[in-house]
Structures are given as structure tokens and as C-alpha cells.
Amino acid sequence: MSLKKSLVVARWEFIEKVRTKAFIISLILMPTFIVIMSVVPSLLMTKADTSTVNIGIIDNTGEIAPVLNTNLTEKYKLPDGRPNYDVVVIPPGDSAKIEANEMVLRKKISSYLVVDTGIQTSRKFQYVSENVSNFKDITRFQSAVKDILVSNDLERSGISPAIVKEVTKPVDLETVRLSKEGKEEKTEAGSGFILGYIFIIIMAFFVLTSGQLLVRSVVEEKSNRIVEVLLSSTTADEIMTGKILGLSLLGLTQLAVWGLIALAFAGQLAAFVTIPDNIWWEGVFFILGFLFYSSIFVMAGAPVTTEQEAQQATTYVSMLLFLPIVLATLVAQNPSAGYLKILTLIPLLTPTMMAFRIPIQTPDLWELLAGTGILIASTYFCMIAAGRIFKIGILVYGKRPSLNELVRWATKKG
């Protein structure tokens, strides 16, 4: 096989595809997608407020509101040092709730609490807001009120206020991730999952874009018989190698652009995502995964004649890619479950499962090595099979071959 002609094909595929609208769109679309899908929700969930939040309180006991105000303002500060919350006391009475609701709707306060007289024994109070899924605020208010009730109880049983203050001191939790090498890294809880998801989404998107480009270029060449001109100048293997090379180059360009965008946002990202030190394993599975899925796309795309069939073929292959993303939820539940190790060693799932597991909890070395081995072997066999299917498939017009025929082509030597 002459690499020279493969390079000619690769150069052509690269230059022609880089100029397409679809590619340029994908360059911008993907980072936007990632930001929206992963960073934004986590930003919303954990990011500190930037201005003081007004919360109302209808305090029928008259004891809770003042203490709550001091506690909240002391404990929660905005990044610039101002208090995070300002407690607005709404005088209790028949029209108190109506007034409070009105204030929420007019955005005077973001939410309000209703404390009834029996709270010390009932241990119940209300939180009213337009949006009741603001877990950060809810947990804070809950624990603040609880602290007050506990101090009240303690003081009533004769314990000195100083001791009460001491025992109700807040507890801070710092999450630390232990790497395989025993190194401790401070991370935000859940950042591994975010990173894992980012990796598999990038991989899926990456494979899909190039896979679709690959299939479409084959369909175009078949429909106008250019494929015959190509085959009269070079061999099917060289064409296939060239196409995969060209598309890999395209993918690298994509990654480089995304990488630059990521760098630009590095400041913001760093707060949520810590790059694990085993990141290069991620690279190994990324590259192998790309080649493996590319060969599957070649197999699916070569026998196709029309755009419509191409759509179908790519859809089927895409489903194979998204299956692991569904399985990723299992990883999220228990990253070290035994059956995940077995799933990870199924070639079709290896690249994505590894990409997802590595940032969360590095798999054992034997798993990494076995995964690499299995993936190299299956990529090798898939490439050979893809080459054979490509060789026959690109000259087949019209009727789509059956699965049996595909298997026969793939196993036919020469």
C-alpha cells in the first residue's frame, strides 16, 4: 500500500470538509452544547449569588426572625463581603400571607418563611416561593431554623449561651478525591461526573460528525461514479485509509479549536472541574475509540447508495454510540460495581465507559490494559473487515445488501 496516495486522499477530504458549513457549525455548536448541558446547570446550582437575596418571614412567635437574621447574615456572605441574605420581617396578621405573596410576585422578596407558634415542638415551618427547587437556599434556611430551635431547647434546659453557641457551630464539608497513586485532590463534589459526561459527549459528537461526513462523502462519490475514477487510480485500502486519516485530522482540528475555547473559559471551569492526573488514559481511549467507531461507520456507509439510506445507516450506528451514555447513569450510581467492569470490556462500550469512569474513579491498571488490548484487537479486525466491505460495497449500487451478505464480504479474503 502506498501511503502517498492515502495522503492525497486525506488532504482532499480534510480541505474539502473543513470548508463545509456543517463542519464550521459543529465547531461552534459543540462547545455551546457542552456549556449548556453541563456547566450551566452546575453554575446555577452551586454558584454564589452576586447580590443580596431578600427573604421574607412571617414570624408568629416573634423569637425566630431576629436570630435568623443575625445567623444568616453572619454565616453567608457574598463574594464581595456583603451579606448574602437580608431578612424582611412581615408583621403577622390576617393579611400577612396576602401581603407576602404580593411581595414575592413583585420580586420584592425571593421567598418567605412562615413560622407558627408551635414550631418549637412541631418542628415545622413553611417555605413559599415561585420556585421551590432552589435547593441551596432551602437547605440553608432549614439548617438555620433548626440551629435556632436547638439553641432554644438547650438554653431552656439550662445550658449557658456560650456553650450553646459552641455546640451549634456549623460543620463544613470538603470533598477530597483520592487518586490511584494515593494523591489527594480537593474537588467539588460531582466534578468527576461532569468531566466524565463532557468526555463522552465530546467523543460521541466527534465520532458522529466525522462518521456522517465519511458516509456522505462515500455516497456522493458513489452517486456520481467518482469512486470508479478513484479506484482506477488507487486501491480501496488506500482510499479508506486516506479518508479515515483526513477525518481524524479534521477531528483534531475540531478538538484544537474546542481546546482553545476551553482555555478561554479555563478560569470559570477550574472552579468546578479538576483535571485528573490520569488524563492521558483518556486520550488513549479517545483515539482508539475514534478509530474503532470510524471503522464501524465505514462498514455501515460503504454499501449505501442514497442520502436517505445514509441517514438510516448513521442513525443505527449512532444508537450504538448512545447506548453507553445511557449506561453511564449506572456508573454514576456506583462507580466501582463489578458488572461495570464486565460491561467496560465489551468492545462497543469500552471507549465511552472508560472515558466516563476514568475521571470519576480510575479503573484498576489491569482493566485499563485489558481495555486497551481488547480495543486495539477489535479495531484491527474491524478495520480489516471494513476494508473488505468497503472494497465490495463501494461498487454496489441500488439494492442494499443484507446482513448476511455483509458478513460474507467482511470475511472474504483478498
Applying CB under 8 A, the residues found at the interface with another protein are 2, 4-5, 8-9, 11-12, 15-16, 20, 220, 223-226, 228-235, 395, 414
Query: Given CA atoms 384, 389, 390, 392 in this order, what sign does their dihedral have?
Result: positive
Comparison of 9 and 321: residue with beta carbon closer to another protein: 9
Q: Are strands 126-129 and 85-89 parallel, antiparallel or unpaired?
A: unpaired
CB 304 to another protein: min, Å: 17
Comparison of 16 and 188: residue with beta carbon closer to another protein: 16
Burial category of 167 from C-beta neighbours within 10 Å (exposed 0-12, middle 13-18, buried 19 and up): exposed
Give the side-chain half-sphere CA count within 13 A for 315.
6
Comparison of 17 and 140: residue with beta carbon closer to another protein: 17
**Count of all residues that appear for the chain in the document:** 414
CB 4 to another protein: min, Å: 7
CB 10 to another protein: min, Å: 11
Comparison of 25 and 45: residue with beta carbon closer to another protein: 25
CB 234 to another protein: min, Å: 6
Comparison of 11 and 180: residue with beta carbon closer to another protein: 11
Grid cell for residue 46? 452551586
Grid cell for residue 378? 477489535
Comparison of 103 and 410: residue with beta carbon closer to another protein: 410
Comparison of 92 and 301: residue with beta carbon closer to another protein: 301
CB 401 to another protein: min, Å: 12
- Residue 285's closest CA among 333, 380, 340, 356? 356
- Residue 196's closest CA among 341, 375, 363? 363
90 Cβ contact list (under 8 Å, min separation 6): 56, 57, 58, 96, 99, 100, 103, 112
CB 235 to another protein: min, Å: 6
Comparison of 23 and 33: residue with beta carbon closer to another protein: 23
CB-CB contact of 249 with 312 (8 Å): no
CB 231 to another protein: min, Å: 4
124 Cβ contact list (under 8 Å, min separation 6): 116
Q: Give the separation between CA 114 and CA 120, rounded to whole angstroms.
A: 13
Q: Give the separation between CA 375 and CA 290, rounded to whole angstroms.
A: 11
Q: Give the separation between CA 328 and CA 324, rounded to whole angstroms.
A: 6
CB 303 to another protein: min, Å: 15
Grid cell for residue 227? 469512486
Comparison of 246 and 289: residue with beta carbon closer to another protein: 246
- b (16+ CB within 10 A) / e for 282-319: bebbbbbbbbbbbbbbbbbbbbbbeeebbeebbeebbe
Residue 127: phi, psi to the nearest 5? Answer: -125, 125
CB 305 to another protein: min, Å: 13
